[in-house]
Amino acid sequence: MRELTFGLAVACGFLAIALTARYLEAAGLVDAEGSRRATQVVIGLALAVYGNFMPKRATASAVAVCRTRWSQSALRVGGWAMALAGLLHAAFWAFAPIAWADLAATTVVATATLVTMVYAFWMFASRRRTPEADPMS
């Protein structure tokens, strides 16, 4: 229940940021590009924070299912990939031309997701080939 409440609070925070940006745009204080950039920078920074907490959030149920060093390794690689992708996403939206920022930020996040998935699959496949190599199983 606590995670659900936290998730809803984060979602409300994102909505508040987007609505504030739209309000500032409607008031003429920020142009449309600035509003879009600010929202995307916040999304990138949130992805970086999520990537930082990813390896630390292994719950008891996840440990019961996969309590090996390989699962922790996959979480670390995924965390690093997502944290770096979030920082690059924010940097592209903050400094690059808008047409280039859209493509580059999407590519970076998609690549980080692919790296995470491929590494996790590779870890799972290597664990199935050598189950005796894990002293915890």
* pLDDT of the residue at 135: 47
For residue range 82-119, list pLDDT tens digits in order.
Answer: 999 999 999 999 999 998 999 999 999 999 999 999 99
Question: What stretch of H or E contains 129?
Answer: helix 98-129
Q: How high is the pLDDT of residue 137?
A: 47
Report pLDDT for 55.
82
**How far apart are alpha carbons 117 and 115 in whole angstroms?**
6
Residue 55's identity, in one-letter code, is: P
pLDDT reported for residue 94: 95
- Please give the distance of CA 109 from its chain centroid, rounded to a whole number: 8
Q: What is the pLDDT of residue 58?
A: 66
Report the C-alpha dihedral over residues 99, 103, 106, 111, rounded to 10 degrees: -160
Phi, psi of 106 (to 5 degrees): -65, -40
Q: Which of 42, 39, 46, 47 is nearest to 19 (CA)?
A: 39
Quote the DSSP letter at residue 136.
T
Q: What is the DSSP letter of 55?
A: G
Residue 10 is predicted with a pLDDT of 85
Both structure tokens of 134: 């894990």
List, for the chain, all residue ranges whose pLDDT scores fall below the cut of 50.
Answer: 134-137
According to DSSP, residue 28 is labeled T
At which residue do the structure tokens 């050598």 appear?
130
Q: pTM surpassing 0.85? A: no
- Separation between Cα atoms, residue 120 and residue 82, nearest integer Å: 14
